[in-house]
Structure 1
Amino acid sequence: MSLYAVPLLSALGGVAFAFLAGKFLGSGRRAASGEFTGQAQSLIGAVLLSSFILLTGFQVAGGWSALSSARSRTYDESRALADAYWAAGGLAPGDRSTVRDLLRQYTAAVRTIEFPDLAHGGTSTAAWQDLDRTRAAIGAASAATGARQAARSSAQDSLAVVYQTRTDRSAQAAGRMPQVTWYAMLVGGAVLIGFPALLGLAATTRQLATLCCVGAAVAFAISLAAQLDHPFQRPLGVRSTAFTLAERRFDQMDAEGYTVSAVPRP
């Protein structure tokens, strides 16, 4: 069965029920006289508005949550990269230089190459390769002394966090809200805008201006939800600021000559 079969059948069932109820219950004397027409129209309008608000709220809340999570995870990755860079200071000079150069190379690849790809739901193969080379270099680092062994272990732990946050980012870049909710929003928004006209709205300047404001509000809500559904796409998406910060931390550690194995406390 199609993924959209149940929602579609449910919507058709609601249409059928409404049609039958209107057909048989709306044929009485009081319905024919239009005694309750105003109340019925108000009820239909309120239901349409509530349905659209529910759909829009669901989309915006879900999109905002994904955006906030994606932004937070980039800073988690930035901190883990800085911790790995610090821990690499406790390795042998040759290993330290290799690992730190690879960490810089990975961070630059994410910032300059991967973030444009994330806007389209993809990730950078080059960045993955840089990260794998970094892991291999740490694993091959000398652990002749207890201090160097501790430094290598600390760097490996920090790099594991980088892998985790990077995997989460890949999933967030490709994740989207269900398409059926977008169809429902578009149809609900169109009916909500056209509802006053269906009831016989007079084409006066004042009423048309009011209806245009309703159309603008509905279109803005749908547009906002669509932008939030792409957590790495401009103008609202996550940017590479966290990785720029990581590169600044690398420069700071190099300038101050940090070559100890302990990971600094936040």
Structure 2
Amino acid sequence: MVLLETLVVVFAVAVVAALAVIVKTKLFPRREGDLPREDVAEYISMMVSVFYALVLGLCLVSVWDNRATADDRVQTEASALHQTYLLAEALPAGQRQPVRDAARAYAAHVVGVEWPRMAEREPLGPEGWVLLDRLRTAGELTGRGTMAQQIAAQEMLAQIGYVDDARRGREAAAQERLSAVLWTGLIIGGVLTVGFMFLFGLERNTTHVILVMGLSGFIAFTVLLIHQLDAPFGPTLGVTADPFTRYFPR
């Protein structure tokens, strides 16, 4: 709906501008001997190029910032989970292995189940939260314990809290998308920028062809780059599960 509304507004503005030019031409026709105003066309072409460069920069910053945030969340989540695994050594003997098993089960679920879902922008489901609650329950002291064990249990719960927060951030980053308005600006701006190059000719056709090819190819590359970065957990430029597999190898 947002994309459709944006297209309607853009098209309406373009139609109004076209009507204004037609009215101006009818009311003030060009007289014989008047030179064509090529400088106006050059000015419009330059302004379109400048605005399009701004849109490209905004899109690149937006998708890169989301990917960087997703990477930080993954690093924090994996590191906190690993610290939880290590802190299990300070718990009573009967609780150490359950905590380690719960941490490994959570890491395996994230890598094996949630990562493919995030790549396809599918909901993660409740399974991961159930495994995290199981880890939190396993880390709670069943008895009074020693002072060192109580401190380790408190630190473990704090690390699990970090895992919880990072997991929420990772889930939000996986669902984040570039605005449909920005995608509209990318496509329309690219078409206009390339199209305006046909308004001005060069003395050498070969040079003109090379310039058009270079600009078109670079714009296509930039749009494809934005498309790949818009999937922060995609298969090409997305964040990988290496932090989890490094701490918890299969």
Deviation at 1:154, TM superposition (A): 1.2
- Further displaced range: 118-127 or 81-90: 118-127
Deviation at 1:168, TM superposition (A): 0.6
Aligned residues: 248
1:89 counterpart SS class:
helix
**Retained in 1: the 8 A contact 2:6–2:184?**
no
Deviation at 1:43, TM superposition (A): 1.1
> 2:219 and 2:243 mapped to 1: Cα distance?
34
- Further displaced range: 165-174 or 114-123: 114-123
Q: Which residue does the alignment assign to 1:259?
A: none
**Retained in 1: the 8 A contact 2:91–2:149?**
yes
Deviation at 1:61, TM superposition (A): 0.4
Q: Structure 1 residues 43 and 132, CA, compared in 2 at 3 Å: closer, same or farther?
A: same
Once the two structures are superposed, the pairs formed by residues 205-224 of structure 1 within 5 Å of their partners are 205-224=206-225
- Further displaced range: 62-71 or 147-156: 147-156
> 1:58 and 1:169 mapped to 2: Cα distance?
22
Q: Which residue does the alignment assign to 2:17?
A: 18
2:139 counterpart SS class:
helix
- Further displaced range: 187-196 or 95-104: 187-196
> 1:196 and 1:223 mapped to 2: Cα distance?
21
- Further displaced range: 18-27 or 159-168: 18-27
> 1:71 and 1:178 mapped to 2: Cα distance?
21
> 2:238 and 2:57 mapped to 1: Cα distance?
19
Q: Structure 1 residues 31 and 108, CA, compared in 2 at 3 Å: closer, same or farther?
A: farther
**Retained in 1: the 8 A contact 2:92–2:145?**
no
Deviation at 1:4, TM superposition (A): 5.0
Q: Which residue does the alignment assign to 1:197?
A: 198
> 1:116 and 1:167 mapped to 2: Cα distance?
17
- Structure 2: which 5+ residue stretches go unaligned? none
Q: Which residue does the alignment assign to 2:52?
A: 52
> 2:112 and 2:245 mapped to 1: Cα distance?
10
Q: Which residue does the alignment assign to 1:72?
A: 72
> 2:185 and 2:100 mapped to 1: Cα distance?
51
What amino acid is aligned across from residue 157 of structure 2 in structure 1? Q
**Retained in 2: the 8 A contact 1:31–1:37?**
no
- Further displaced range: 59-68 or 70-79: 70-79
Q: Are residue 229 (structure 1) and residue 230 (structure 2) matched?
A: yes
What amino acid is aligned across from residue 221 of structure 1 in structure 2? T
Q: Which residue does the alignment assign to 1:185?
A: 186
Q: Structure 1 residues 8 and 33, CA, compared in 2 at 3 Å: closer, same or farther?
A: farther
**Retained in 2: the 8 A contact 1:113–1:124?**
no
**Retained in 2: the 8 A contact 1:110–1:127?**
yes
Q: What per-residue deviation string (whole Å, max 9, x for no partner) do you get for residues 221-244 of structure 1?
A: 111111111111122110111112
Deviation at 1:182, TM superposition (A): 0.9
Q: Are residue 104 (structure 1) and residue 104 (structure 2) matched?
A: yes
Deviation at 1:36, TM superposition (A): 5.1
Once the two structures are superposed, the pairs formed by residues 135-150 of structure 1 within 5 Å of their partners are 135-139=136-140, 141-150=142-151
1:197 counterpart SS class:
coil
Deviation at 1:41, TM superposition (A): 1.3
Percentage identity across aligned positions? Answer: 27
Q: Which residue does the alignment assign to 1:85?
A: 85
Q: Structure 1 residues 31 and 145, CA, compared in 2 at 3 Å: closer, same or farther?
A: farther
- Further displaced range: 32-41 or 73-82: 32-41
> 1:22 and 1:109 mapped to 2: Cα distance?
62
- Structure 1: which 5+ residue stretches go unaligned? 252-266
Q: Which residue does the alignment assign to 1:133?
A: 134
**Retained in 2: the 8 A contact 1:67–1:228?**
yes
- Aligned-residue Cα RMSD (Å) equals 2.7
Q: Compute the TM-score of the two structures, normalised by the length of structure 2.
A: 0.86
Q: Which residue does the alignment assign to 1:239?
A: 240
Q: Compute the TM-score of the two structures, normalised by the length of structure 1.
A: 0.82
